């Protein structure tokens, strides 16, 4: 099969155009503007978008529907990767429907999510907006403290107001899911998330 000079030049031009097009997409900040909260046992963000083949297994197996697909606002490269949406469902890996083993890590076919021990998981941190929190507004509400599965992540002071301790929080989002305030006084952020190191 011979390639004429014209065809070869066309090939080069197309390659350059395609590469430029793909480069643009990598210039879009992926996860730096809106860092997404990943399911437990996920590898470092640097490799996550490549290792995750967007097969949707984790979304299918999640018993609490906590895992949803990230959309294009989370970065073009992160689109359709799994993320935790605590509003739809909390991640109950610590206590609840998923506490024997993490199903997403067990079923992930490529190793983007890995089956690790429960004690090593930290998906993120719950952040409190004191201006909306019912307890800080003088009402009686201890929902987050009662439902939090982790000891010492949320403590109450004398006036029954919750205090969040980010070192102990595992970022499961149970407090966010059950927060009765409208809008929610709690948000789940990925600050302090501990990722599995990808061996190279």
Partner 1 sequence: MAKIKIGKIEILRAVTVLLVVIFFLAAPFFGFAYGTNCALTFGSFVLISPLELLLMVLGTQTALMSWLIPSILVILIIVLFGRFFCGWVCPVGMLLEYSHAFTETKKMKGIGSLHSNWDRYALILAILLASLLFNFAAPYLFSPPGAVYRATLYFMLRGLIGVDLAVIAFFFVMDVLAIHYGRTWCSTICPLGTVISSLSIINLVSPKVDKKACVDFDFNCLNCERLCPMHVPILRANRWAMTECNKCLKCWEGCPVKAIKIRAFG
Q: Which residues bind to partner 1, rule: CB under 8 A? A: 1, 3, 7, 10-11, 14-15, 18-19, 21-23, 25-26, 46-47, 49-57, 59-61, 65, 68-69, 71-72, 76-77, 79-80, 88, 107, 109-111, 198-200
Pairing of strands 186-189, 125-128: antiparallel
To partner 1, the closest distance from the beta carbon of 11 in angstroms equals: 5
Nearer to partner 1, 52 or 134 (CB): 52
Instruction: Using CB atoms within 10 Å of the CB of residue 76, give its burial: 0 to 12 exposed, 13 to 18 middle, 19+ buried.
Output: middle
Write down the least CB distance from residue 154 to partner 1, Å.
Answer: 29
Residue placing its CB nearer to partner 1 in the complex, 107 or 178: 107
Rounded to 5 degrees, φ, ψ at 164 are: -100, 135
CA 111-116-119 angle, 5° bins: 155
For the bound state, the minimum distance from the C-beta of residue 176 to partner 1, rounded and expressed in Å, comes to 18
**Residue 68 CB, nearest distance to partner 1 (Å)?**
6
173-192 per-residue burial string, b: 16 or more CB within 10 A, e: under 16: bbbbbbbebeebbbbbbbee
């Amino acid at each position: 099969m011979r390639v004429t000079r014209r065809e070869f030049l066309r090939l080069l031009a197309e390659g350059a155009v395609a590469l430029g097009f793909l480069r643009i997409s990598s210039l879009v900040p992926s996860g730096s503007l809106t860092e997404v909260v990943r399911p437990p046992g996920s590898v470092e963000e640097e490799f996550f978008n490549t290792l995750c083949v967007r097969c949707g297994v984790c979304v299918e197996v999640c018993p609490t529907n906590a895992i949803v697909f990230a959309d294009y606002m989370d970065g073009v490269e992160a689109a359709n990767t799994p993320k935790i949406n605590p509003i739809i469902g909390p991640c109950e890996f610590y206590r609840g429907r998923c506490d024997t083993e993490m199903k997403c890590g067990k079923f992930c076919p490529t190793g983007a999510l890995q089956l690790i021990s429960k004690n090593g998981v930290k998906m993120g941190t719950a952040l409190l907006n004191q201006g909306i929190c019912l307890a800080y507004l003088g009402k009686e509400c201890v929902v987050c403290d009662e439902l939090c599965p982790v000891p010492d992540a949320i403590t109450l002071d004398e006036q029954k107001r919750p205090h969040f301790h980010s070192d102990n929080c595992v970022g499961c989002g149970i407090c966010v899911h059950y927060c009765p305030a409208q809008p929610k006084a709690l948000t789940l952020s990925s600050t302090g998330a501990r990722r599995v190191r990808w061996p190279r």
